[in-house]
Structures are given as structure tokens and as C-alpha cells.
Amino acid sequence: MAVKTLKWVGGIDGYLEIIDQRILPGEYKIIRCCTVKQLYDAIKMLAVRGAPAIGVAGGYGAVLSLQEFSQKNADRKARRTGRQKTEDRRQRLENSAVSAVKVLKRDCEYLASSRPTAVNLRWAIERIVKCAEKSEGKTLLGLRKAVLKEANVICREDVEMCRKIGANGDRFIKNGMGILTHCNAGALATAGQGTALSVLYEAKKRGKKFGVFVDETRPLLQGARLTAWELKRAKIDTTVICDNMAAALMRDGLIDMVITGADRIAANGDAANKTGTYCLSVLAKAHRIPFYIAAPSSTFDLKTKTGKDIPIEQRSADEIRFCGDKQTAPDGVDIYNPAFDVTPAENITAIITERGVIEKPNGHRVKKNFI
């Protein structure tokens, strides 16, 4: 049974529960997000991560935004005096759905700024905003219900998307294979059972026997901490390796395929994923090993022509200067810490989506996937 990395609890006055991924596997802890600021911090600091998961979280962030708007207006209404007719008029305006949508848009932009590379976050937020704009003529209560309904739909669609990706990718896994993956593209990165790891879960359900090599994924060790934790729970044969061991394993015939997720895929099939993915694609190509990306349609950004146009998030130098609470690099040295790199389409054997498989991806084949 896959873990549930995030869950909305209650109705329009509810809250978002997430697994704090910063402290896995040593500690399993649930965080409760009740405000937009709390959710922004959870996304920014990687308590919740993975492109599909933060997209779903962003949808629920809009629910929190309207919740805060409603509460602030209720507080102001309680402080009103009956003598202030102009104040009454202003309060009625502020309580309207139109004013609420303005605040929602502002808060959604704030949430979107937390992780600029992963396109799912902005995709989900833009979808929520469109839903809210269509509901401007409703009461504030009606608007809040409509936005929560849309956020729940996005979450359910993500669960189904994961299942379909796994079913579409299962055919690439054969008995006895050694499979390499990088970072975490499992249940912890989605609302369902994952993208790249969904392929493995579906293969296991069908009785296939295989082993998985998991890159530790420096600097934050999402592979060693998160993917290995997931696969162990699923009772899949798992071996953690250092990032720089992959080439030797490929040379020695231990790796039969590579599969990763993606945070944004350009119109020509170039894919941004956790830094180190590009290196694996080059190694796989040199050793004639198939290299697969598993990602939902919401990860494609058809407005971005090539990988060169994808914005790459730069993260804190301390993520490299420290490993946990231990300093591993001296003060005063420059540190370069991009969260992602871009794998060119020419290095990708196929992109596995919930709609189907895009073999030898290029601009024409990617576009065809959306027709």
C-alpha cells in the first residue's frame, strides 16, 4: 500500500495534512498546514516535494487563501458600528466573491514563487484561478465550495494519473532486470503511487521480479532517504548507491534500464529533473541502456520551446556546505547548487504518460500526445 503524502481534512474550513519529508526515514511526522504562509514554507523547504504533489498542494492552498479571507472579513464585520453607513458599504464589497478572487490570485502567485521549475504547481494554480473566476458571481460561500471541489478533483485526477502511468510503463520491465532511478518519483512525490515508481509498483503487482538501484541523490539524499524508504515498504529488492557509482554498474552489466520522473518537460521533449539526471542519460546512452522519463501531461509546458528556456531553481549553499548538521565544505568557498538539470530529448528513449508512451520524443511527437 503506497503512502499518502498529503490529505485534505474537513470541508471549506478544513486543513491540509502532509508528511514531513525533511526528516524521513528517521522520523515519520505529519504537518498540519492551516495558512497560505505555512504551506508556502512547507513547499519551499521541501517538507512536501515532487512536481505533482506540490501541484495538488497548491490547489488546496487556494482553499486556505479563501478561508483566511473569510475569517478576516468576519473579524472586521464583528468590529463594525451601526453608525458607519459608508463602512457598511465597503464591508459588503470586501465580502463579495470578486474581492475574494483578487486575494486568491495574489496568494496563488505567492505560492507559485516557492518552486519556479516544477510546472505542475503553476498548472494547478492557474486551473484553480479559472475555476474561481467562473464563480465570481456566486456568494463567498459558493466560491469557497467551488474552489474546494476543484482542488479535490485535481487530487483525484493525480491519483488516477499515477495508476495509468504505471500501467503504460509496465511493459518495459522484464523479469531479472536491474533498474536505476534517481531522486524520488514515488508516492511521496504525488497524491497517488508516483510516476517513475508507479511503473515499478505496477510491475510488482503483475508478479515481475526485478531489482532497483537507487541513487542517493545529493545534496538532500531524496533517493537514499525517500525512494529507498518507499521501495522497502513495498518489499521491492532495493540497493542504494552513491551518485558517482552508476557508470561502473552500467559497465558491469548490472543496469538494464534507467527511469526517472520530471519536473518540467519542454515542447520539444527536453526534460528538467533533479540535478544529476542529465549525467545518467549520457551514461545510459554511452552504454546503450534505455532511459525513460515517467511524468503526467501536467508536467509538459508547451509554451516552453526547449530545455534552454526552463528556469532552473537555485537553492541555498548550505544544502551542500552541510550534510545534516555536519559541515562538509569550508567557509569562504563558492558553492553552486541548482536543484535541477535538463536532459535533452535525444537522450530519452521514451516518455511514459497517463495518455500513452511517447517513443523517441521530439516536438512533433509531444504535440501529437495532446491531440
Sheet of strand 300-301, all strands in order from the earlier edge strand to the far edge: 300-301, 264-266, 271-274, 340-343
Q: How far is CA 215 from the centre of its chain?
A: 19
Q: Which residues contact 160 (CB under 8 A, 6 or more apart)?
A: 192, 354
Q: Please, where are the H alpha helices in the chain? A: 36-44, 51-78, 85-94, 97-112, 119-134, 140-169, 196-205, 222, 228-233, 246-251, 277-286, 318-321, 363-369
Which set of grid coordinates corresponds to residue 356? 500513452
Identify whether 270 is a catalytic site residue. no
Closest CA to 2 of 195, 154, 180: 195
What does residue 305 show for φ and ψ, rounded to 5 degrees? Answer: -70, -50
Catalytic residue among 107, 263, 270, 341: 263
d(CA 158, CA 151): 11
The answer for residues whose C-beta is within 8 angstroms of residue 228's C-beta and 6 or more apart is 25, 214, 238, 240
Gyration radius of the chain over CA positions: 22
Residues with catalytic annotation?
A: 263
